[in-house]
């Protein structure tokens, strides 16, 4: 079933005509209201009126996470603050968050695209949708929530944590749809088994999983273990949140980007040149209707390709391939974005630690774990064990407080971390072996 049949099946010429109109409009809005963009446009000698065809998007400047950080918190907002009704945020590269503001109209559109996404996954108003994405500044919880309500389904706003209790709630309330990260779904499934709840015995039939990379092999495994259709949802805070692109149950092959609201491009991450459909590169998105913080040619750092061929579901919106990784070193730990530099800067604030550190990411019982190993100086190493233990605890607390993720910090003997001959091997991601 389609949530918005007309928009979701617009003929290609109509999509493109709409995109062009909206692209010109968003360029005019940012040029008039956001000094950052006006400067960027001027530096390239381009004006909104120069956008005469969709191909002219190439003339426009790129934007990236760093720009949002540089203008923290409100510098890229395009409307007066009175018109902003909600804020969401995600990590930037230095611990400072990237802040996005939504107008009432933005939230309406977000709910609609999240509703389209859930329906593409097979959700209907008869469903009981258990939302175990985190609620809060992270967009997962409230995003999925808005979509499910917009469809008229029954929402259970469970958020993350207390997994055994969640398994009980899923059983007692008769959850038919589970929305969370794929790894948390596996964790919930295990927690359920521990208390005698097998997802196969529940009416559960659909999983809407995203916010982190996962694979076809994981999909097969989860579908088998849980007796569900496991569907892939993509999104990012800067652009909106979950529901920027979504797989359809009919093909389970590629994620439809809601092109009436977002203009996708694939570029070569090194040269910035546009790549043709089918070629893998970095996904770049322009928001066509967003009012609060419109973004022009936002570099997502996510690697994928675009497919404009017709889909058997009848939707005409282009599809991106399952995400293949990122062009930067951002880690996603239990759905939280973490940049190694953030951890590094926290470590470097403490006296007696050396810059030789390593971050070990693993998956234990389907949950991501993060261990930070850092070498101490000879002087500190000569200190009492108790002092070292206190320092470990303090670092763990700082990292939790600033980045929102739990870590295990291990202070290491001087010279015990292997030196690399080339670039330092900062991150050992043992999860990638199973991906
Ligand atoms: O993760 C929004 C979201 C919430 C999407 C719930 C889906 C479901 P951020 O925290 O800003 O926003 O992280 C965005 O997560 O650039 C990708 O690298 C990654 N990501 C999101 N969805 C997928 C997916 C949310 N389906 C970053 N597959 C993005 C792979 C994903 N990576």
Distance 411 CA to ligand 1 centre (A): 32
Q: Is 117 in the pocket of ligand 1 (CB under 6 A)?
A: no
Same domain, 291 and 366: no
Please identify, among 292, 312, 328, the residue that sits at the C-terminal boundary of a domain.
328
Same domain, 169 and 233: yes
pLDDT surpasses 70 at 316: yes
Same domain, 163 and 293: yes
pLDDT at 172: 98
Residue range 149-162: average pLDDT?
96
User: What range defines the domain where residue 407 resides?
Assistant: 336-434
With a CB cutoff of 8 Å and minimum separation 6, the contacts of 159 are: 131, 132, 133, 134, 135, 136, 141
Same domain, 413 and 268: no
pLDDT at 421: 58
Summary mean pLDDT of the chain: 93
Instruction: Return the SS3 of 263.
Output: strand
pLDDT surpasses 70 at 95: no
pLDDT surpasses 60 at 434: no
Residue range 212-226: average pLDDT?
90
Per-residue model confidence as pLDDT tens digits over 230-246: 999 999 999 999 999 99
CB 244 within 8 A of CB 109: no
Q: Is 127 in the pocket of ligand 1 (CB under 6 A)?
A: no
Same domain, 234 and 260: yes
Q: Going along 217-311, which residue ranges are E strands?
A: 229-236, 241-247, 255-257, 262-267, 281-287, 298-304, 306-307
Distance 1 CA to ligand 1 centre (A): 25
Per-residue model confidence as pLDDT tens digits over 136-148: 999 999 999 999 9
pLDDT surpasses 90 at 409: yes
CATH for 371: 3.30.300.30
Distance 225 CA to ligand 1 centre (A): 24
pLDDT at 93: 45
pLDDT surpasses 80 at 315: yes
Please tell me the distance from the alpha carbon of residue 121 to that of residue 141, in angstroms, as a whole number.
17
Query: Is the residue at 5 inside a domain?
Result: no
Query: Is the residue at 17 inside a domain?
Result: no
pLDDT at 435: 44
Query: Is the residue at 48 inside a domain?
Result: no
pLDDT at 251: 96
Residue range 251-269: average pLDDT?
97
Distance 44 CA to ligand 1 centre (A): 31
Task: Look at ligand 1, atom 4, and give the residue with the nearest C-alpha.
Answer: 140
Distance 211 CA to ligand 1 centre (A): 3
Per-residue model confidence as pLDDT tens digits over 393-404: 999 999 999 888
CB 137 within 8 A of CB 88: yes
Task: Look at ligand 1, atom 29, and give the residue with the nearest C-alpha.
Answer: 236
Task: Look at ligand 1, atom 21, and give the residue with the nearest C-alpha.
Answer: 211
User: What is the count of structural domains for the chain?
Assistant: 2
Phi, psi of 127 (to 5 degrees): -80, 155
Query: Is the residue at 388 inside a domain?
Result: yes
Q: Which of 234, 315, 320 is nearest to 2 (CA)?
A: 315
Same domain, 244 and 369: no
Same domain, 171 and 272: yes
Query: Is the residue at 44 inside a domain?
Result: no
Q: Is 184 in the pocket of ligand 1 (CB under 6 A)?
A: no
User: Which 3-state string (H, E, C) describes 36-80?
Assistant: HHHHHHHHCCCCHHHCCCHHHHHHCCCECHHHHHHCCCCCCCCCC
Same domain, 120 and 265: yes
Please tell me the distance from the alpha carbon of residue 52 to that of residue 29, in angstroms, as a whole number.
16
Please identify, among 286, 312, 328, the residue that sits at the C-terminal boundary of a domain.
328
Same domain, 323 and 373: no
Q: Which of 138, 180, 211, 295 is the best mutation target for the ligand 1 pocket, counting ligand atoms within 8 Å of the beta carbon and taking the most?
A: 211
Same domain, 266 and 415: no
Q: Would you tell me how many other CB atoms lie within 10 Å of the CB of residue 308?
A: 13
**Tokens encoding 134:** 């985190």
- Rg of the chain taking only CA atoms, in angstroms: 23
Distance 376 CA to ligand 1 centre (A): 35
Per-residue model confidence as pLDDT tens digits over 30-44: 999 999 999 999 999
Please identify, among 291, 311, 328, the residue that sits at the C-terminal boundary of a domain.
328
Query: Is the residue at 30 inside a domain?
Result: no
CATH for 167: 3.40.50.12780
Query: Is the residue at 295 inside a domain?
Result: yes
Distance 196 CA to ligand 1 centre (A): 32
Q: Assign 433 a pLDDT band (cuts: 50, 70, 90).
A: low
Per the listing, tokens 């990411």 go with 361
Residue range 155-181: average pLDDT?
96
Q: Which of 136, 140, 186, 141 is nearest to 163 (CA)?
A: 186
Same domain, 287 and 153: yes
Per-residue model confidence as pLDDT tens digits over 4-31: 999 999 999 999 999 999 999 999 999 9
Q: Assign 217 a pLDDT band (cuts: 50, 70, 90).
A: confident
pLDDT at 67: 96
Task: Look at ligand 1, atom 1, and give the residue with the nearest C-alpha.
Answer: 211
Query: Is the residue at 4 inside a domain?
Result: no
Q: Is 176 in the pocket of ligand 1 (CB under 6 A)?
A: no
pLDDT surpasses 80 at 432: no
Cis peptide before 68 (omega within 30 of 0): no
Same domain, 106 and 207: yes
Q: Is 181 in the pocket of ligand 1 (CB under 6 A)?
A: no
pLDDT at 121: 98
Residues of the chain with pLDDT > 90, as a percent, come to 77
């Amino acid at each position: 079933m389609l949530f918005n049949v007309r928009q979701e099946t617009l003929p290609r010429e109509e999509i493109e005509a709409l995109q062009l109109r909206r692209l010109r409009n968003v360029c005019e809005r940012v040029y008039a209201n956001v000094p950052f963009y006006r400067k960027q446009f001027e530096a390239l000698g381009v004006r909104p009126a120069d956008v005469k065809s969709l191909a002219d998007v190439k003339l426009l400047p790129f934007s990236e996470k760093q720009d949002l950080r540089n203008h923290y918190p409100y510098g890229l907002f395009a409307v007066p603050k009175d018109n902003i009704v909600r804020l969401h945020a995600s990590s930037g590269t230095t611990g400072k968050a990237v802040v996005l503001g939504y107008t009432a109209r933005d939230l309406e559109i977000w709910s609609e695209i999240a509703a389209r996404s859930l329906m593409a996954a097979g959700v209907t108003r008869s469903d009981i949708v258990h939302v175990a994405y985190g609620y809060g500044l992270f967009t997962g919880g409230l995003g999925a929530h808005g979509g499910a309500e917009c469809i008229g389904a029954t929402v259970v706003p469970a958020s993350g944590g207390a997994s055994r209790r969640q398994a009980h709630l899923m059983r007692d309330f008769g959850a038919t749809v589970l929305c969370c990260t794929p790894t948390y779904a596996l964790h919930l499934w295990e927690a359920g088994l521990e208390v005698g709840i097998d997802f196969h015995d529940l009416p559960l039939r659909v999983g809407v999983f995203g916010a982190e990379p996962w694979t076809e092999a994981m999909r097969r495994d989860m579908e088998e273990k849980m007796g569900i259709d496991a569907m892939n949802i993509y999104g990012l805070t800067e652009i909106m949140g979950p529901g920027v692109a979504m797989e359809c149950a009919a093909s389970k092959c590629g994620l439809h980007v809601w092109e009436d609201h977002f203009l996708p491009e694939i570029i070569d991450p090194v040269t910035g040149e546009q790549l043709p459909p089918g070629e893998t590169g970095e996904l770049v998105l322009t928001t066509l209707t967003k009012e609060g913080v419109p973004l022009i040619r936002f570099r997502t750092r996510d690697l994928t390709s675009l497919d404009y061929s017709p889909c058997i579901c009848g939707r005409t919106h282009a599809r991106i391939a399952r995400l293949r990784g990122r062009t930067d070193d951002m880690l996603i730990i239990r759905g939280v974005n973490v940049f190694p530099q953030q951890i590094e800067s926290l470590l470097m604030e403490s006296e007696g630690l050396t810059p030789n550190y390593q971050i070990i990411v693993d998956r234990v019982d389907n949950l991501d774990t993060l261990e930070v190993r850092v070498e101490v100086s000879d002087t500190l190493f000569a200190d009492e064990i108790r002092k070292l233990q206190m320092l470990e605890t303090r670092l763990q607390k700082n990292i939790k407080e600033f980045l929102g993720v739990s870590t295990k910090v291990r202070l290491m003997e001087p010279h015990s971390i292997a030196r690399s001959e080339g670039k330092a091997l900062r991150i050992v991601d043992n999860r990638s072996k199973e991906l």
